[in-house]
């Protein structure tokens, strides 16, 4: 990693959910000293700026379903797909800052397009495995993983070039889940993905859970994409998120996860998403996001 240039790509989009504010996430993470601290870690950094997020023709109404914003989100994902592909072509490592979690379709499938055989680890309080048929809210940030694995192919991943495929369910791991819709949970069971709920982490510990996640995502692959939703952490420690859920992982468990991912040598790209500065307290979640990124890219306690 030390020889690799880190490309920072911002995606200031909050159209996937029903709470405004995560579009300011990339700015808050940058403001928290990301560039400076990455360089202090000995890494080379290229901030390529933000993906342009167009204003949709349909006015966004707080609390409304988001299906009418599908074309806008698909366009953003298509542009992110191109940007991440360019990062890989340059031999760099993509660090994608969100923004809501629907953006991960563009970043994860770009990694799949470049490396062909990869896995994915999805750290999230939610499954994000709904489809247009199963979703109760219609919020598109609850659907990206279903699109990334090819379960839902006619919505968020509709931009994918012909011939490019999806990440295999058997190399897909959800970690930290504790809020799943019933139909979504049924779909996840049927798909063959691995779901490590908070109950699993409570029973077996974070170390063993992450070890298993890395093994599953890395089996017969070139490596794995890491998509980290800050709401996987307890809202007591990460209050500034798009969709908080009680009972998440702790500060140290989150860092152990990132430290183990780095030590594995298999991480191909990283999303850090769903930071909402509006609900944050004195930027503690923004600063936490930066510290987690540093752990994922090689910072150790000693």
**What is the three-class DSSP state of 97?**
strand
C-beta separation of 224 from 267 below 8 A: yes
Q: For 82-124, how does the pLDDT look when each residue is reduced to its tens digit (9 = 90+)?
A: 999 999 999 999 999 999 999 999 999 999 999 999 999 999 9
Considering 14, 23, 128, 259, which one is annotated as catalytic?
128
Instruction: Give the percent of the chain with pLDDT over 90.
Output: 84
Name 207's Cβ contacts closer than 8 Å, sequence gap at least 6. 256, 260
Instruction: Answer yes or no: 101 catalytic.
Output: yes
Considering 101, 114, 225, 255, which one is annotated as catalytic?
101
Please report where in the chains the tokens 């982490």 appear, as a residue.
201
> What DSSP string runs through 202-257?
HHHHHHHHHHHHHHHHHTTSS-EEEEEEGGGB-TTT---BSS--SS-B-HHHHHHH
Each domain of the chain, given as residue ranges in start order, spans: 5-296
Instruction: Answer yes or no: 271 catalytic.
Output: no
Instruction: Answer yes or no: 124 catalytic.
Output: yes
Instruction: Answer yes or no: 181 catalytic.
Output: no
Considering 100, 124, 181, 271, which one is annotated as catalytic?
124
CATH value of 5-296 in 3.40.190.10, 3.40.640.10, 3.40.800.10, 3.90.1150.10 = 3.40.800.10
Q: For 60-90, how does the pLDDT look when each residue is reduced to its tens digit (9 = 90+)?
A: 544 444 566 888 999 999 999 999 999 999 9
Instruction: Answer yes or no: 255 catalytic.
Output: no
- N-to-C CA span, the chain: 18
Q: For 6-26, how does the pLDDT look when each residue is reduced to its tens digit (9 = 90+)?
A: 999 999 999 877 678 999 999
C-beta separation of 188 from 152 below 8 A: no
Considering 50, 92, 100, 141, which one is annotated as catalytic?
141
Considering 229, 253, 259, 280, which one is annotated as catalytic?
229
Q: For 152-199, how does the pLDDT look when each residue is reduced to its tens digit (9 = 90+)?
A: 877 899 999 988 999 999 999 999 999 999 999 999 999 999 999 999
Considering 23, 50, 274, 280, which one is annotated as catalytic?
274
Instruction: Answer yes or no: 79 catalytic.
Output: no
């Amino acid at each position: 990693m030390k020889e690799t240039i880190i490309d920072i790509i911002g995606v200031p989009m909050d159209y996937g959910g029903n709470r405004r504010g995560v579009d300011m996430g990339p700015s808050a993470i940058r403001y928290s000293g990301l560039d400076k601290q990455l360089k202090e870690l000995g890494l080379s950094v290229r901030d390529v700026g933000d993906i342009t997020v167009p204003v949709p023709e349909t006015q966004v109404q707080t609390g409304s379903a988001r299906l009418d914003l599908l074309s806008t989100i698909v366009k953003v994902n298509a542009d992110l797909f191109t940007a991440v592909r360019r990062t890989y072509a340059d031999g760099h490592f993509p660090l994608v800052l969100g923004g809501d979690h629907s953006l991960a379709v563009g970043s994860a499938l770009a990694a799949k397009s470049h490396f062909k055989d990869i896995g994915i680890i999805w750290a999230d309080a939610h499954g994000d495995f709904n489809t247009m048929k199963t979703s109760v809210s219609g919020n598109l940030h609850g659907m990206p993983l279903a699109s990334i694995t090819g379960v839902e192919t006619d919505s968020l991943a509709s931009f994918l070039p012909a011939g490019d495929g999806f990440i295999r369910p058997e190399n897909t791991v959800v970690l930290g889940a504790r809020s799943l819709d019933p139909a979504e949970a049924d779909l996840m069971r049927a798909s063959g993905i691995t779901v490590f709920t908070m109950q699993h982490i409570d029973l077996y510990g974070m170390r063993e859970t992450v070890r298993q996640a890395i093994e599953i995502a890395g089996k017969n692959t070139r490596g794995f994409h890491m998509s980290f939703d800050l709401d996987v952490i307890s809202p007591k420690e990460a209050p500034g998120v798009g969709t908080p859920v009680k009972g998440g992982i702790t500060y140290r468990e989150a860092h152990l996860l990132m430290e183990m991912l780095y030590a594995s040598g298999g991480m191909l790209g990283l999303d850090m998403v769903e930071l909402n500065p509006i609900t944050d307290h004195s930027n503690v979640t923004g600063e936490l996001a930066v510290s987690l990124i540093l752990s994922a890219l090689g910072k150790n306690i000693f």
